Amino acid sequence: MTSSSKLPDKTFKTVINSTPLISIDILLKKDNKVLLGKRVNKPAQGYFFSTGGRVHKNETITNAMARIAKNELNITVTLTPKFIGVFEHFYDDSIYKDVSTHYVNLAYEYEVQEIPDLPAEQHSEYQWFTIDKLLESKQVHKYVKDYFRKP
């Protein structure tokens, strides 16, 4: 498998404007609570959201999850996370002012015993939520709530 890499900015803008992106969200859990971060970047800027990122070209889902877990949460995934499901996220905005975003999202739950030293690049603050509080909060994005709603 060829190594993965980030796309040049101009190419990435064309991709976002033309196709859905595949992303992985990692719902970090400890003591029946879920860790969410307040997003710094668009889309969903200012909302509490799960940590995650897109899958790069030629990157396996396993490798993408390991990279995202390390970059976003400062953890090394040692066990197989629990697969929650496939979700679609549609946003009117993106990191580019005039481009909407469509994600096909793979959501996973990962239980931890220790709280990692969390990076601050993608989220301005982190907070642990019970499922009930998460579902009630206006600060938590609706797409995160979808992970926990019963069908």
Q: Does a structural domain hold residue 79?
A: yes
Sequence-separated (6 or more) residues with CB below 8 Å from residue 137: 48, 129
Per residue in 80-125, pLDDT (tens digit) is: 889 999 999 998 877 777 888 899 999 999 998 887 677 666 678 8
Q: Which domain holds residue 84?
A: 9-146
Q: Does a structural domain hold residue 82?
A: yes
Instruction: Indicate which CATH number applies to the domain containing 61.
Output: 3.90.79.10
Q: Does a structural domain hold residue 1?
A: no
Give me the number of domains the chain comprises: 1
Mean per-residue pLDDT, 72-85: 86
Q: Does a structural domain hold residue 141?
A: yes
Q: Which helix (H) or strand (E) holds 111?
A: strand 101-111
| pLDDT averaged over every residue in the chain | 87
Q: Does a structural domain hold residue 120?
A: yes
27-36, 91-100, 133-142 — which is least confidently predicted?
A: 91-100
Q: Does a structural domain hold residue 126?
A: yes
Q: Does a structural domain hold residue 151?
A: no
Which of 18, 23, 16, 29 has the alpha carbon at shortest distance from 106? 23
Q: Does a structural domain hold residue 73?
A: yes
